[in-house]
Structure 1
Amino acid sequence: MSIQDDLPPAVFLDPWLTAEGDGLKSLSETIAERVERKIYTNLTHSARRDAIARRRLVVENVMANMAVMMLSPHAENRNLLAVATAKTKPTRYDRPDYPQSLLSGVLTALQDLGLVIRHPYIYRERSTTVEPTLALMDAILQHGVKLVDIARAEGAETIWLNARTGEIRFKDRTPIKCRMDYDDTAETNGLRAEILRINAHLNESGFRFDGERQSPISLRRLFLLRSEDDAQTFNLSGRLFGGWWQQLKSDRRHLITIGGEPIADLDFRGAFCQLAYVRLTGKLFPGDPYAIEGLEEHRNGCKLAMLSLLSRRGDLKRLSPELKEELPEGWTAKRLVDAFSRHHPALRDAMGKDMGVELMATESQIMVKFLLKLETQEIGAMPLHDGVQCAVSNKGRVAEAMQEVSERLLGVALPVAEKPVVRPEGSQKVAA
């Protein structure tokens, strides 16, 4: 095993990030000048001027991404930026004015200047990644760069369509997906309009972490095809991604405020399992769906197991390392399947049938309609997959909206519960 095999997960480069504040602009200009001295070429004056402008755009974007990775609370202990440097045909996901062909050369210059370290692409394991050196991290701090300095260019695609390739990653055995281009229809235009409305509202909702505004919010919906050969559809998965709060560790959420208020954490209790019951029986499960005998103290393990049982194709024959870590010592795949089958006989025939992405689609539809309802009520809330974080003063109205929307779409209201916001011992409650 090489040292690089132990590298932590990377943050993917976002080509739409730009510099807006003085600190980031100053940093980008300083480094761009150093890159130009490194790359200087014998071009005509006009051609060289155009090349300089294009490289400066790349440098500015890389610096904005490095700043997000270094300063954002959700990227804590993650200092690798994954980049795609291969020349590929442009798609709807690419930024039209982004000079992708110059990215590799700029990264090489940054490495030669001692500002980044490059780690090469490994087939079916990892993209090309770069990490900032101490010199670059010091430069970000010395220029006083803040997350408020970062903006976004307009036009980023918010409706993504991925497809399963049938291949798996060597390292962790997870399925490999590819991004699919698609033609717009009335449906995709409508889906996109919804997310643009939600993003505009969330960016005006006064979200802060430890008193600071974070990088601009750009949620996107990720839909899925079971195969690259499937017809273009948008009825699988569709979950929302891209919110900085979604990857934030639970013990740091107490530092979030909305409009100056501390947050309440609300979720649809047992949502994934309850959606399966509504789909298969037309009714909710009467009780706690995760009160599995022998796993009473392992609720996270129960949730992960339910997700695995309903999302896989075929029988569960062995526990994944992630699932095994969440279960008590001595539990096997057979014991897990037997325990869930006893507690949920109505779901037994649905296990191993790849129903999970269909349930996620229903879950995401509820979440989008719910967020649109909150927008009309001028309430800002941070969506998670099966719940939201909202200002404490709004939690009653938000809980009512959650039940109203779920009942309208399902015919039955999903139960809503408030989860405690974890506060480390000795921490002070955020003042409203």
Structure 2
Amino acid sequence: MSRGLVDRPARTSEFHTPQRQQIWPGDRDRLLCLDWSVEADEIRQHVPMPAARSAKAAHVQAAIVADAIMSARREPLRRISYSRRKGWWTESSRYRGREFTYDTVVPAVDALLHAGILVDHDLQPAGRATGIQSSYRPAAWLAGISTPRLWRKPGELIRLKDSAGSLVSYQDTERTHRERKLVEKVNRLIADTEISLNAPDAHFDGDVIRFGEHSVYPDMLSLYRVFNGGWTLGGRFYGGWWQSVKSKDRQHFTLDGQCTAEVDYEQLHPRLLYALAGKHLDGDAYTLPGWDRKLCKIAFNVLLNASGYHQAHGALLPYLDGCEVSARDLIHDIKARHPKVAGYFHSGVGLRLQNVDSEMCRFVLADMSVKKGIVVLPVHDSFIVPETAKDELVATMKKAFERATAHIGDN
């Protein structure tokens, strides 16, 4: 067995079987998703839809409502953003079907708001690119309706966002063609695999799996990559329904009837940050005298992702009962614990590190899924495989990490 690899390791191990939830909260608005494959007549059977001027308009309304239903079930308080700037719809046209344009989506949103299907509208200026889009929430009652049959189409597999989080167009290159083909191959293998979840808390309701107030949608089988602000930032793989299953339930996955194993990188971003600085991380990155370790872990990742001190300070306040002094002291103590990398904190380096870990993920998928035909379900810094492939996964992850840290300063 490789050094530092055990099922229940000490905190300094390289890998471990995860027992934790994602710590960087998804508190930002999410973009309106128009990838759901729906039938307008079926949506009407469940939702009192407003009148539409044409079959195309009815289809657009149905797609927006389908997205709202999904959001009401999964993240009822999270806002859904969309643009009212005509140029945006032209600039990002590669990401949706031809029927979804400024002239169809904006009137559809307005009609659905008037009908009370969408609520709490935050209307932003439409005449210029402010970086802040208009947004709304799904009506709460959408979470309780009978669920129509919904599934998500793959859409564009290589996606580029600007610094404000909006999808932008790009010219295809040899690299984007290559990356798209790799994701297509991985998706075909996943589609041909029977993925089952036998978690004790899972309740199966048609095409939805519910865990209390949390729901997941097993029809979401297609991965795609998202780059954030450039081709060297972000790049993580998203889209798989298993990524929305909490860590305590993921141990109950089976793949083609086989039990699975999940292995993740221990303290991945702290270790990558130290590698970027040409240094070595000693001890546990998240242990600070006088502070709760879980809170320190949250704060460390806030400091990696924030683009300025005030943004980092503000992001920590909800975790500290709004105490500004405590937020200031926690930032100070983390920097004191990590003086070798303190200069990277609240610099936005997190997206650069995400690009490194996304390339590590790409290496694992290319080597195991594309080359060897072993299905791998990625969950950002961890991977789920058939239990019989665990040792091979560990070896591949180790190789990916070594390659990444050897070249992390090249970009």
TM value normalised by structure 2: 0.70
1:302/1:390 CA distance change after superposition, 3 Å? farther
Judge conservation of contact 2:270–2:285 (CA < 8 Å) in 1: yes
Equivalents in 1 of 2:356, 2:303: separation in Å?
18
3-state DSSP class of the match of 1:345? coil
Judge conservation of contact 2:40–2:58 (CA < 8 Å) in 1: no
Which residue in the other structure is 1:140 paired with?
146
Which of 184, 190, 194 is residue 202 of structure 1 equivalent to? 190
Q: Does 1:120 align with 2:121?
A: yes
Q: Does 1:27 align with 2:38?
A: no
Task: Tell me the amino acid that sits aligned with residue 116 of structure 1.
Answer: I
Q: Kindly state the Cα deviation for residue 272 of structure 1 after the two structures are TM-superposed.
A: 0.5
Structure 1 runs, 4 residues or longer, greater than 6 Å off: 31-34, 326-331
Q: Kindly state the Cα deviation for residue 270 of structure 1 after the two structures are TM-superposed.
A: 0.8
- Give CA-to-partner distance per residue, 1:355-410, whole Å, 9 cap, x none: 33222211111111112222133333332232223444433332222112222333
Alignment of 1:112-191 (within 5 A): 116-123=117-124, 127-129=134-136, 131-132=138-139, 134=141, 140-141=146-147, 145-146=148-149, 149-152=150-153, 156-164=155-163, 176-191=164-179
- Give CA-to-partner distance per residue, 1:100-133, whole Å, 9 cap, x none: 3233444555566x57244323337763425257
Which residue in the other structure is 1:419 paired with?
none
Which of 265, 269, 287 is residue 266 of structure 2 equivalent to? 269
Judge conservation of contact 1:64–1:150 (CA < 8 Å) in 2: no
CA RMSD of aligned residues (A): 3.9
Which of 390, 393, 401 is residue 398 of structure 1 equivalent to? 393
Task: Tell me the amino acid that sits aligned with residue 285 of structure 2.
Answer: P
Task: Tell me the amino acid that sits aligned with residue 183 of structure 2.
Answer: I
Task: Tell me the amino acid that sits aligned with residue 351 of structure 2.
Answer: V
Judge conservation of contact 1:27–1:140 (CA < 8 Å) in 2: no
- Gaps spanning 5+ residues in structure 1: where? 1-7, 41-50, 165-175, 226-232, 413-432
Equivalents in 2 of 1:292, 1:185: separation in Å?
46
3-state DSSP class of the match of 1:332? helix
3-state DSSP class of the match of 2:138? strand
Alignment of 1:46-65 (within 5 A): 51-52=54-55, 54-65=56-67
- Gaps spanning 5+ residues in structure 2: where? 1-26, 125-130, 210-216
Equivalents in 1 of 2:183, 2:243: separation in Å?
17
TM value normalised by structure 1: 0.67
3-state DSSP class of the match of 1:346? coil
Q: Kindly state the Cα deviation for residue 234 of structure 1 after the two structures are TM-superposed.
A: 1.0
Judge conservation of contact 1:310–1:350 (CA < 8 Å) in 2: yes
1:269/1:115 CA distance change after superposition, 3 Å? same
Judge conservation of contact 2:77–2:137 (CA < 8 Å) in 1: no
Q: Does 1:290 align with 2:286?
A: yes
Alignment of 1:252-331 (within 5 A): 252-253=249-250, 256-261=253-258, 263-281=260-278, 284-295=280-291, 297-298=292-293, 300-313=294-307, 315=309, 319-322=313-316, 325=319
Which residue in the other structure is 1:13 paired with?
32
Find the structure with the greater CA-based Rg: 1
Which residue in the other structure is 1:98 paired with?
99
Judge conservation of contact 2:263–2:383 (CA < 8 Å) in 1: yes
3-state DSSP class of the match of 2:301? helix
1:388/1:329 CA distance change after superposition, 3 Å? farther
1:126/1:64 CA distance change after superposition, 3 Å? same
Identity %: 19
- Give CA-to-partner distance per residue, 1:141-190, whole Å, 9 cap, x none: 4xxx34xx5252x6x222222333xxxxxxxxxxx444332222222222
Which residue in the other structure is 1:222 paired with?
226
Which residue in the other structure is 1:377 paired with?
372
Q: Kindly state the Cα deviation for residue 273 of structure 1 after the two structures are TM-superposed.
A: 0.9
Which residue in the other structure is 2:238 paired with?
241
Judge conservation of contact 2:259–2:386 (CA < 8 Å) in 1: yes
Which residue in the other structure is 1:386 paired with?
381
Judge conservation of contact 2:76–2:138 (CA < 8 Å) in 1: no
Q: Kindly state the Cα deviation for residue 98 of structure 1 after the two structures are TM-superposed.
A: 1.9
1:270/1:119 CA distance change after superposition, 3 Å? same
